Amino acid sequence: MSRLAAGPIIPSFSQGSSCERNNGWFCTDWLHQHWGDTLQPALVQHVELTVIAVGVGFGISFLLALAGFRFRLFDLPIGVFADLLYTIPSLALFQLLVPLTGLTVTTVEVALISYTLFILYRNIVAGLRAVPDEVLESARGMGLTRLQTFIRVELPLAVPALMAGLRIATVSTVSIATVAAFVIPEGLGEPIFTGLQEDLFKTEILAAGLLAVALALGADLLLVLLARALTPWSRLT
Amino acid sequence: MPSEAAELVFDEATKRYPDREDAAVDRLSLTVPAGEICVLVGPSGGGKTTALKLVNRLIPLSSGDIRIDGVSILEHDLTELRRSIGYVIQQVGLFPHYTVEGNIGVVPRLYGESRSWIKARSAELLELVGLDQSYARRFPAQLSGGERQRVGLARALAANPPLMLMDEPFGAIDPIVRARLQDEFLRLHRDVRKTVVFVTHDVDEAIKIGDRIAILREGGVLAQYDTPARILEHPVDDFVADFVGRDRALKALALRTLDELELAPAGAAEDGLPRLPAETSLRDALALLVAERKDALVVTDADGTPRGTVTREDLLG
pLDDT tens profile A139-153: 999 999 999 999 999
Backbone torsions φ then ψ of A36, nearest 5 degrees = -70, -40
- Containing structural domain, residue A173: 40-231
Q: Give the residue on A whose Cα is nearest the Cα of B99.
A: A233
Q: Are residues B236 and B311 in the same domain?
A: no
- B82 CB neighbours in chain A (<8 A) are 140-143
Q: What per-residue confidence (pLDDT) applies to A236? A: 66
Is residue B282 one of the residues assigned to a domain? yes
Position A75 in a domain: yes
Flag whether A27 is in a domain: no
Q: How many domains does chain A contain in total?
A: 1
For the beta carbon of residue A44, count every other beta carbon within 10 angstroms: 12
Residues B280 and B248 both lie in one domain: no
CA-to-CA separations, A148 to B56, B96, B109, B114, in angstroms, rounded: 18, 16, 12, 18
The boundaries of the domain holding residue B97 are 8-253
pLDDT band at residue A1 using 50, 70 and 90 as cut-offs: very low
In this structure, the answer to whether residues B188 and B273 fall within a common structural domain is no
CATH of the domain at A128: 1.10.3720.10
- Option in B97, B139, B141 nearest A156 (CB): B97
Work out how many domains chain B is built from and give that number.
Answer: 2
Same domain for B171 and B280, yes or no, is no
> Of B230, B253, B276, at which residue does a domain stop?
B253
Do residues B262 and B249 both lie within one domain? no
Number of alpha helices (DSSP H) and beta strands (DSSP E) in chain B = 13, 13
Residue A35 clears pLDDT 90, i.e. is over it: no
pLDDT for A104: 86
Answer yes or no: are the C-beta atoms of B177 and B146 closer than 8 Å: yes
Q: Are B149 and B278 part of one and the same domain?
A: no
Q: Does residue A190 belong to any structural domain of this protein? A: yes
Give me the half-sphere count of Cα atoms (radius 13 Å) on the Cβ side of residue B285. Answer: 32
In a domain, residue B3? The reply is no
B217 and B238 Cβ atoms separated by less than 8 Å: no
Q: What is the structure's pLDDT at A3?
A: 41
Q: Does A145 touch chain B (CB under 8 A)?
A: yes
Q: Give me the pLDDT at residue A94, please.
A: 83
Q: Is A135 on the interface with B (CB under 8 A)?
A: yes
| Residue B154 CB contacts under 8 Å (≥ 6 apart), including other chains | B100, B104, B122, B125, B126, B128, B129, B131
State how far residue A235 is from chain B, nearest Cα, in angstroms. Answer: 9
* Alpha-carbon span A178 to A201, nearest angstrom: 17
DSSP letter (8 states) at residue B247? T
Q: Is B41 part of a structural domain of the chain?
A: yes
CA quadruple A47, A50, A52, A55: dihedral sign: negative
The helix (H) or strand (E) run that includes residue A219 is helix A202-230
Is residue A236 one of the residues assigned to a domain? no
**What is the C-alpha to C-alpha distance for residues B309 and B258, in angstroms, rounded to an integer?**
10
Q: Is residue B234 part of a domain?
A: yes
Confidence of residue A186 (pLDDT cuts 50, 70, 90): confident
**Closest CB from A135, A145, A233 relative to B93:** A135
Q: Which pLDDT score, from 0 to 100, does residue B229 have?
A: 92
Whether the predicted pLDDT of A23 surpasses 80: no
Q: Name which of A15-19, A117-121, A184-188, B77-81 the model is least confident about.
A: A15-19
Q: Do A142 and B110 touch (CB under 8 A)?
A: yes
CA nearest A235 in B: which residue? B141
Domain contains A3 = no
Among residues B120, B123, B152, B121, the alpha carbon closest in space to that of B135 is found at B123
SS (HEC) of B151-179: HHHHHHHCCCCCEEEEECCCCCCCHHHHH
CA–CA distances in Å: residue B128 to residues B44, B131, B184, B278: 33, 8, 9, 28
Give me the residues of chain B with pLDDT under 50, please: none
Residues B213, B282, single domain; the answer is: no
Whether residues B285 and B303 share a domain: the answer is yes
Cβ neighbours of B97 in A, within 8 Å = 156-157, 231, 233-234
- On the question of pLDDT at A216 being above 90, the answer is yes
Q: Residue A24 above 90 pLDDT?
A: no
Query: Which of B172, B209, B199 shows the shortest CA–CA distance to B50?
Result: B199
Of B20 and A131, more confident: A131
- Using CA atoms of B95, B99, B105, B109 in order, give the dihedral in degrees to the nearest 10: -80
Q: Where are the beta strands (DSSP E) in chain B?
A: 8-15, 25-32, 37-41, 63-68, 71-72, 85-89, 163-167, 195-200, 212-217, 221-226, 275-277, 296-300, 306-311
B294 and B154, same structural domain?
no
On whether residue B2 sits in a domain, the answer given is no
Residues B239 and B308 occupy one common structural domain: no
Q: Which of B231, B253, B275 is the last residue of a domain?
A: B253
Q: Is residue A153 within 8 angstroms of chain B, CB to CB? A: yes
Which of B233, B253, B273 is where one domain is finished? B253
Closest CA relative to residue B169, chosen from B198, B212, B209: B198
Domain identity same for B43 and B27: yes
Residue B1 lies in a domain: no
A233 contacts in chain B (CB < 8 Å): 96-98, 139-141
CATH code of residue B12: 3.40.50.300
- Testing the interface with A: which of B50, B53, B84, B97 to mutate, by most A Cβ within 10 A? B97
- By C-alpha distance, which of B45, B44, B158, B143 is closest to B111? B158
Assigned domain for A202 exists? yes
pLDDT for B216: 95
Strands B275-277 and B296-300: parallel
What's A73's DSSP letter?
A: H
Spacing of C-alpha B224 from chain mean position: 17
Report pLDDT for B182.
94
Q: Do A137 and B93 touch (CB under 8 A)?
A: yes
Predicted TM-score (pTM) of this structure? 0.83
CB atoms within 10 A of CB B123: 14
**Are B167 and B63 in the same domain?**
yes
- The pLDDT of A175-190, averaged and rounded, is 86
**At B272, which CATH number?**
3.10.580.10
User: Which value does ipTM take for this structure?
Assistant: 0.85
Give the per-residue pLDDT at A30: 77
Do B93 and A138 lie within an 8 Å CB cutoff? yes
